[in-house]
Structure 1
Amino acid sequence: MAALPAYAPMLAQLGPLPEPDSDYAHEMKWDGVRALGYVEDGRLRLVSRNGKDVTVAYPELAGLAGATGGHAAVLDGEIVAFDQQGRPSFTALQPRMHQRNPFKIRQLLVTTPVTYLLFDVLHVDTATTIALPYTERRRRLEDLVHAGHHWAVPPYFTHGGEHTLADSRRLGLEGVVAKRLTSPYRPGRRSSDWVKVKNVRTQEVVIGGWRPGEGRRANTIGSLLLGVNDESGRLRYVGSVGTGFTDEALRWLGERLAPLERDTPPFEGITREEAKGCHWVEPVLVGEVQFTEWTSEGRLRHPSWRGLRDDKEPSEVVREEG
């Protein structure tokens, strides 16, 4: 059998729920990290949204290779970790996303296990499935994958999206994704066939510097300086974030930022006052914040840190409207 072809994940647009009488299904939006799973020759290979092989980070998912009835396949889904209340938590997933040390991964298998929540199939054996409508791909996925301890195919809902969105709020989830029932899978493209509807506002950001802390954080990072690419691809300053960090996150960030030091700010649009006392770094690390709104000056209001996103490239980071 020929090797499975490489695919890029289809992306969703941020927006409101489609009209109640439109032909959309609704899935829960899982607060994790996207990954394509390639099942081939009895093995599973996991690839992040930006094309990195992340298989080594999630050994408990290896058994998925035996859960497709002997079929080769390319699967799409979200790797999630759960908090103490049993809710998907991006913060809980952070140590798993970045860890590559086999000994530490074995420890994390016990303290922070992950689950691979599958929602699409792109290829089975020698045939691509991306041209099939959403409903047919979902049927094939459900027939193909046998549930296991660390992977599952969550349900989708075809009744009004308002009910599913309300359930997502009640369960403390990130939101829903509305998917057009007749839509094909469009690798690497962002399409209105998939619409993500969030319960909270989040924004991907590029780290361009940091300010030292005060008090108990005097010897570490006090806040991160953040940027977002504008329409011309220039990194524009959008503010700083100083809340939402655990001690472990601050230690990890300090280690990642230390070798990236530079003499000048990487941002456009930062004022002299905003730049006072800052340390600058090469803008190569991507993170994510939660915030309340954009100000008229193009700054994030009340941002809170959620974590690093090694699955995103700095050039992909733009202001997410909706």
Structure 2
Amino acid sequence: MGQPMPYPVEPMLAVPGELPIDRDRYGLEVKWDGIRALVHIDNGLRVTGRHGTEYTRRYPEISGFGVKNAVLDGEVVALDQRGRPSFERLQRRMHLTDPEPGMLELYPVTYFPFDLLYLDGTPLFDLSYRDRRSLLDELDIGAPPYFPGESDLLSATHEQGLEGVVAKRLDSPYRPGVRSPWWIKVKNLSTREIVVGGWKAGKGRRAGGIGSLIMGVFTEAGLTYVGHVGTGFTEVTLEELYAVLRPMEIARSPFANDVPWRNHWVRPDLVGEVAYTMWTDELRLRHPVWRGLRPDKIPAEVRL
């Protein structure tokens, strides 16, 4: 008799960072821009997310893969027309608990398994990542490959417009619910100038000041909203920005397109720089991080 299947399993998490120096001890996987999901296969199929969130009816495309008794860890992604993960497309599905056939056809999802945690009555948590991946590959269920740590996978993902890589120690066990330095997520980041068109009021520790900055770039239509940035600031930086932006406040939005939320608008006279992972199809900067003001730049020159 084997051991009972664990359910639900809380996924092991990666820490953000850079590629490790001792890269020969790691395997590299593509970082898929989707939603983490655990698939439990045993007389049926159940899909859960973090904190045991129930996903089974939400993503009926996920099947049993021809496996009878297993727990898989992986990512639910929605691919665009070029075959790249699109979080925008996934957002059309992620809040639908029982999607209609039309939504399944318009916004199909794919499951990419990248770890095997339990197989035929045997928990695999204490096996090394290398051994778990070997067993997963033997199942032949379409798991994306992993690459040697010395490979140039990060540059390849950047060229293909993908989010980055995850470096995983080859000898690392699986620790459910733990954010471990054995796994390191490394994102591809680009930088660009943006025009500050306003700010969103802060909450909590940022109450009474700036919560995030409203970003724009100039297009033929005028100043065009491309998102908001709320990370990368120190408290001192936010105080200094508030002192600069408060006297520049105006009554109406300077943007040519609609901007969500009620915001404080300012004259579009300041240029800043942000790091980001990619542009979305709706012309939004994904995962922007504030890097600082660029007083050497002219707003009219910040174009799409």
TM-score (ref. length: structure 2)? 0.65
- 3-state DSSP of counterpart to 1:94: helix
The RMSD of aligned alpha carbons is 3.7
C-alpha separation in 1, matches of 2:5 and 2:118: 11
- Which residue of 172, 184, 191 corresponds with 1:183? 172
Q: Which ranges of structure 1 fall in alignment gaps of 5 or more residues? A: 202-221, 245-267, 281-287, 297-322
Give the secondary-structure state (helix, strand or coil) at the position aligned to 1:55. Answer: coil
Q: Which runs of 5+ in 2 are unaligned?
A: 191-197, 218-237, 252-260, 264-284, 294-304
Question: Which residue pairs with 1:53 in the alignment?
Answer: 54
State percent identity of aligned pairs. 39
Call closer, same or farther: CA 1:237–1:81 in 2, change over 3 Å.
Answer: same
| Residue aligning to 2:21 | 19
Alignment partner of 1:131 is 2:126: yes
Would the alpha carbon gap of residues 111 and 75 (structure 1) be closer, same or farther in structure 2, given more than 3 Å must change? same
- 2-structure distance, mates of 1:169, 1:198: 9
Q: Which residue of 2 aligns with 1:167?
A: 156
1:293 to 286, 290, 293: 290
- Per-residue CA shift, 1:13-57, capped at 9, x if unaligned? 10010115540010000011111111111x221111232101111
The residue aligned with 2:33 is 31
1:90 is the counterpart of 2:87: yes
After superposition, where does 1:306-317 map in structure 2 within 5 Å?
none
**Which protein has the bigger helix share?**
1
Matched with 2:77 is 80
Matched AA of 1:49: R
1:41-93 CA-partner distances (Å, limit 9, x unpaired): 1x2211112321011111111x2x2521x2x1111000001112221111111
Tell me, in whole angstroms, the C-alpha distance in 1 between the residues paired with 2:131 and 2:200: 45
- Give the Cα–Cα distance (whole angstroms) in 2 for the partners of residues 76 and 26 of structure 1: 16
1:154 aligned residue (144, 150, 155): 144
Q: Is the 8 A contact 2:5 2:118 kept in 1?
A: no
8 Å CA contact 2:93–2:99 kept in 1: the answer is no
Cα distance 1:295–1:196, how it changes in 2: closer, same or farther (>3 A)?
same
| C-alpha deviation, 1:102, in angstroms | 3.8
Cα distance in 1 for residues equivalent to 2:10 and 2:58: 20
State the 1:226 CA deviation.
Answer: 6.7
User: Secondary structure of the residue that 2:91 maps to in structure 1?
Assistant: helix
